[in-house]
């Protein structure tokens, strides 16, 4: 018998992706999708790809009944205020806001410029990257979905940091992200004449996902991450280029094959991780374009022969592996379903 799920805040891009994936999930029945703005309207009035796919309508928040899994796609800063109520509605909760990603409440003023109003709930949430926390996710009722830029960056660097290959205080990440990561609310920066053809630096320093990256790459020594983000013209996709440095004592002995072995040790059996490093062809390194609509993360690397620098490239679809896809992957683990259920989409080529 399918489990019943509801989505709080289903009119945004992440909510739309959740609906798209869950409608084809064989173990799920969508019970309610809420929207304060569009309550009573058909989903396809907001998500036009749902035409003739579902006759579901948006509900108000008050109409949501208890369910097996509740996905919360609400603005940052509001989930923490309402989470106690959400926990009463959902036996299991997957929160896609930023409100429960950081373990230490002291980090919220640093990265989000406000105090955390429910620090007592932080320890209940598991950080929602299955490749890092699979066993904890299986046994929890509460998952905090990871940030999209953080997901791409962490998955690219996690094996190297865990193996102690790179210097923890010299991590430089330059990420480029499509416009959908900014959400569906329009602004001057998303206005077509202003956004078209751009490669725009919008966060040279201080990006809030930095806190997540430093948290998850901490293996006894908290790393120092210098993170920069650019907005680019494409709608979906993230390409994160990380510049890290091989520890001096390993530089002369560590070979490229050893780096391959490090990645394979962590990711060889991961269903959504792919190592991409070819000597020929157009797609020699990860590119987000071919990942659109999929839950894959592609990772590649290049060793700089002149320095101790190791360049790592990781790519994802920010709305899938960076949000809705990872949330469904976590839901599968929490409910004992095969991890890949409902997430077997293959990317398009050409597109």
Written as six digits, the tokens of 149 are: 């830029």
Helices (H) and strands (E) in the chain, counts: 10, 13
Question: How far is residue 156's CA from residue 199's CA, in Å, rounded to a whole number?
Answer: 22
Q: How far apart are CA 88 and CA 129, in angstroms?
A: 24
**Measured between alpha carbons, how far is 42 from 44 in angstroms, rounded to an integer?**
5
Q: Which two tokens stand for residue 205?
A: 């320093």
Q: 255 burial class (0-12, 13-18, 19+ CB within 10 angstroms)?
A: exposed
Q: Which pairing describes strands 28-33 and 297-303: parallel, antiparallel, or unpaired?
A: unpaired
Rounded to 10 deg, the angle between the 148-163 and 256-267 helix axes is 120
Strand partners, 177: 231, 238
Backbone angles phi, psi at 54, to 5 degrees: -150, 150
Q: Per the residue annotation, which of 67, 73, 148, 330 is the catalytic one? A: 148
Kind of pairing, strands 199-203 and 225-232? antiparallel
Q: How many CA atoms lie within 13 A of 341 on its CB side?
A: 18
Active site residue 148: yes
Question: Residue ranges of the alpha helices (H) in 141-279?
Answer: 148-163, 192-195, 209-216, 248-251, 256-267
For the CA atoms of 285, 290, 295, 296, the dihedral, rounded to the nearest 10 degrees, stands at -20
Q: List residues with catalytic annotation.
A: 148
């Amino acid at each position: 018998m399918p489990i019943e799920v509801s989505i709080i805040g289903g009119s945004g891009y992440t909510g739309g992706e959740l609906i798209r994936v869950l409608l084809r999930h064989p173990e799920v029945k969508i019970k309610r999708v809420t929207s304060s703005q569009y309550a009573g309207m058909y989903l396809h009035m907001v998500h036009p790809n749902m035409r003739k796919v579902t006759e579901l309508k948006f509900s108000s928040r008050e109409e949501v009944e208890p369910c097996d899994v509740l996905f919360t796609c609400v603005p940052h800063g509001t989930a923490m205020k309402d989470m106690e109520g959400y926990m009463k509605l959902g036996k299991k909760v997957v929160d896609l806001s930023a409100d429960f990603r950081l373990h230490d409440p002291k980090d919220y003023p640093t990265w989000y410029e406000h105090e955390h109003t429910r620090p007592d709930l932080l320890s209940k949430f598991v950080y929602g990257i299955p490749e890092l926390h699979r066993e904890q996710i299986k046994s929890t009722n509460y998952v905090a979905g990871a940030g999209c830029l953080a997901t791409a960056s962490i998955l690219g660097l996690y094996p190297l940091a865990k193996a102690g290959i790179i210097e923890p205080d010299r991590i430089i990440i330059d990420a480029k992200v499509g416009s959908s990561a900014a959400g569906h609310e329009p602004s001057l920066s998303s206005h077509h004449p202003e956004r078209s053809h751009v490669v725009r630096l919008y966060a040279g320093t201080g990006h809030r996902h930095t806190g997540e990256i430093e948290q998850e790459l901490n293996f006894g020594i908290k790393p120092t991450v210098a993170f920069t983000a650019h907005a680019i013209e494409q709608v979906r996709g993230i390409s994160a280029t990380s510049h890290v440095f091989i520890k001096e004592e390993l530089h002369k002995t560590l070979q490229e094959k050893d780096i391959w072995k490090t990645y394979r040790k962590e990711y060889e059996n991961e269903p959504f991780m792919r190592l991409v490093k070819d000597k020929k062809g157009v797609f020699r390194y990860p590119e987000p374009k071919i990942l659109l609509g999929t839950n894959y993360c592609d990772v590649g690397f290049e060793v700089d022969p002149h320095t101790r620098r190791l360049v790592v490239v990781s790519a994802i679809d920010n709305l899938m592996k960076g949000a809705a896809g990872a949330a469904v992957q976590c839901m599968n683990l929490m409910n004992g379903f095969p991890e890949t259920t409902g997430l077997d989409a293959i990317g398009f080529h050409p597109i």
